Chain A
Amino acid sequence: MEWTRHLLVVPILLPLVTGALLLLIDESRHTLKALVSLASTALLLVASVMLMCMANSVPGASDIVSLSYAVASWPAPFAIVLVLDRLAALMLVLAAVIGFASLVYSLARWHRAGPHFHSLFQFLLMGLAGAFLTGDLFNLFVFFEVTLAASYGLLLHGSGAFRVRSGLHYIAINLAASLLFLIGVSLIYGVAGTLNMADLAVRLHAVPAEDRMLLQAGAAILGIAFLVKAGMWPLCFWLPSAYMAAAAPVSAIFVVLTKVGVYVLLRLSLLLFGSEAGELTGFGGTVMLWGGMATVAFATSGVLASQAMGRLAGYSVLVSSGTLLAAVGMGDAAVVSGGLFYLVSSTLTTAAFFMLVELVERAREPGADLLAVTREAYGEDGGEDEERDDEEVGVVMPGALAILGVCFGCVALLLAGLPPLSGFVAKFAMLTGMLNLDGLGTPAGIPPRTWLLVALVILSGLAALLAMMRSGIGTFWAPLEAVVPRVLVVEIAPVVGLLALCLFLTVKGGAMIEYTEAAALSLHDPSSYIQGVLGPEQAKAVAR
């Protein structure tokens, strides 16, 4: 047991060391770089799964469900802690899975499209792991910035005017949001005198009434910073173009970035403003609920209006964010549990979708392939976007279009939330939670805003189905010029893998729901988190 505690730092240290090592390897040795990066990401995945098992097997599942790790062995409120609970472990595994899939995808050609792809990718994974594991607000800021700095580089990967232009908007908006983050953090520090999340939850009770407004202002400003990352309407206009502009494997991993915002909002709102927070209980919930609904409505119209498939995928990310924010805003354990299932399912789906879009668009644009052929015929050293030595990377698959079509159909089913895939289970779990909030049979009935949210969630699924059918028919059934795209095995394998995981989620739906229910229950009982970090005495002080 002793050594396994140190597993907690592995998801942060491993990508950091790998990313730094990769800087030392010369750019011309792609294969070596790719192998090192792939091995490290595979190890990260193994470590995350082990951590998830650890989080799930904590003795006395109802008592202490979080493990903390004091970095450099300083005691908890004074130094930075890493905290593992079921939610953090789930997010970690999700990030590692999508990281691995998009890295495999990038090996076909994208990783050679510019310098330092693998290092940036590893730093991004490090930042994500750190943001999920940290138990300290300022440390969270640092990991956020690590993630964002790496994401700026990755978004520009492959260059081009469109990428640089949307990259400029993306960087400017995120820098401004980071400043809001700092203002929020320092206001909270100024009032409460601590940055440790668990300690903060304890000290909130002692904040005098005249300072409470400052604290609320700090929390609200902090919340805005995360809402920008999560893409809540009206803070989300940068998102579809930035995600569309990024290279396919990069936008796949970016899907996890929006979920970091959702994760932090979920964690902080329930830890700080949960049921034990007195007057502050439920602070910000209304904003998230209505903002989430507005996001779903906006993104649904965006999905219907999108011409390009990349933009359609970008708006699907927003639909998923909006639904999750509304679920968090409901503040009920059953809804959050369904929401977590939805989070996993929709993240896997949209990541697979972004990768699929690039493959499918090869079938739509005959010009691009023609250009590649002429380049080869004239013996030019193909541009950075072209498949130069693809014969060595993999074989060209026969019937590529059929496989792409099946994957596209699966993505449509998942986005729409139709059975038999996990999108249906996720939405069903969430809607059950929403409708049973006060009990179906109670005389008070179901409030109108719940009906509105239920309608929006279902309508967004319908819109996704319509939009996907429209572009699917245009691409697979009635193409103007039938072109069989050249698809490599390494490119389609990650997509199939992610979709197979969704299928696995459906088959193992019961176990998954049990896990998310336990995660949601421990989130709604902050004393277990506090006890895990600070020890039993402090937790009792909160319960009092």
Chain B
Amino acid sequence: MELTLAVAIGVLTGSGVWLILRPRTYQLVIGLSLLSYAVNLFIFSMGRLRVGAAPVLGADGSGNPADFADPVPQALVLTAIVIGFATTALLLVVLIAARGLTGSDHVDGRESR
């Protein structure tokens, strides 16, 4: 499982980095989205990988904390996802505005010669 997750994060990051270095605005937004997925998975993995363990203790608060998954990274991921959504939406608006104002989808607003 560790290997699968590591490969997934690696592939997402690699593709994301390659895409944000490309000159088209659409590639930029997809690249940033892929990078943020990779980062979200990475945050998640920092709480250690556990299968079938709940992040919340029982109602009576009993139980050994070692049997439960770490809830903090899960909360962090949730926040990061929400913030990532909002900023990506904002970036999309700016991309469309830039396309309308400059008539080009190049990140510099004009084709490089």
Residue numbers of A with Cβ under 8 A of B are: 138, 142, 145, 148-149, 152-153, 156, 159-161, 164-165, 167-169, 171-172, 175-176, 178-179, 182-183, 185-187, 189-190, 195
Report if B67 contacts A (CB, 8 A).
Answer: no
Query: A142-B79, A149-B86, A179-B35 in contact; A168/B25 too (CB < 8 A)?
Result: yes
What are 17 A-B contacts defined by CB distance under 8 Å? A138-B76, A138-B79, A149-B90, A159-B101, A165-B101, A168-B94, A171-B94, A172-B20, A179-B36, A182-B43, A182-B80, A183-B39, A183-B42, A185-B43, A185-B76, A186-B39, A189-B46
Determine if A176 and B73 form an interchain contact, defined as CB atoms under 8 angstroms apart: no
Q: How far is the CB of B77 from chain A (nearest CB, A)?
A: 9
Residue numbers of B with Cβ under 8 A of A are: 20, 25, 28, 32, 35-36, 39, 42-43, 46-47, 72-73, 76, 79-80, 83, 86-88, 90-91, 94-95, 97-98, 101-102, 107-109
Residues of chain A lying within 8 A (CB to CB) of residue B102: 161, 164-165
Q: In the bound complex, how far is the Cα of B76 from the Cα of A169, in angstroms?
A: 27
Contact of A164 among B32, B42, B43, B94 (CB under 8 A): B94
Contact of A175 among B43, B47, B91, B109 (CB under 8 A): B91
- Starting from the known contacts A149-B90, A186-B39, 16 additional A-B residue pairs (CB-CB under 8 Å) come to A138-B76, A142-B83, A149-B87, A159-B101, A161-B109, A165-B98, A165-B101, A172-B32, A175-B32, A175-B87, A179-B32, A179-B36, A182-B39, A186-B42, A186-B73, A190-B46
Query: A165-B108, A186-B46, A190-B46 in contact; A172/B73 too (CB < 8 A)?
Result: no
Residues of chain B lying within 8 A (CB to CB) of residue A185: 43, 76
Determine if A179 and B46 form an interchain contact, defined as CB atoms under 8 angstroms apart: no
Q: How far is the CB of A175 from chain B (nearest CB, A)?
A: 5
Residues of chain A lying within 8 A (CB to CB) of residue B101: 159-161, 164-165
- Chain B interface mostly helix, strand, loop or mixed? helix
Q: How far is the CB of A86 from chain B (nearest CB, A)?
A: 30
Q: In the bound complex, how far is the Cα of B79 from the Cα of A149, in angstroms?
A: 15
Q: How far is the CB of A422 from chain B (nearest CB, A)?
A: 37
Residues of chain A lying within 8 A (CB to CB) of residue B94: 152, 156, 164, 167-168, 171
Residues of chain A lying within 8 A (CB to CB) of residue B20: 172, 176
Determine if A176 and B32 form an interchain contact, defined as CB atoms under 8 angstroms apart: yes
Chain A residue, CB-CB nearest to B36:
A179
Residues of chain B lying within 8 A (CB to CB) of residue A145: 83, 87
Determine if B98 and A189 form an interchain contact, defined as CB atoms under 8 angstroms apart: no
Q: In the bound complex, how far is the Cα of B94 from the Cα of A168, in angstroms?
A: 7
Residues of chain B lying within 8 A (CB to CB) of residue A159: 97, 101
Query: A149-B86, A152-B94 in contact; A168/B107 too (CB < 8 A)?
Result: yes
Q: In the bound complex, how far is the Cα of B103 from the Cα of A165, in angstroms?
A: 12
Q: In the bound complex, how far is the Cα of B108 from the Cα of A156, in angstroms?
A: 16
Residues of chain A lying within 8 A (CB to CB) of residue B39: 179, 182-183, 186
Query: A149-B86, A175-B32, A182-B80 in contact; A187/B46 too (CB < 8 A)?
Result: yes
Determine if A186 and B97 form an interchain contact, defined as CB atoms under 8 angstroms apart: no
What 10 A-B pairs are tightest by C-beta distance, nearest first?
A: A190-B46, A186-B43, A186-B46, A161-B101, A165-B109, A164-B98, A145-B83, A179-B39, A182-B39, A164-B97
Residues of chain A lying within 8 A (CB to CB) of residue B95: 168
Determine if B87 and A178 form an interchain contact, defined as CB atoms under 8 angstroms apart: yes
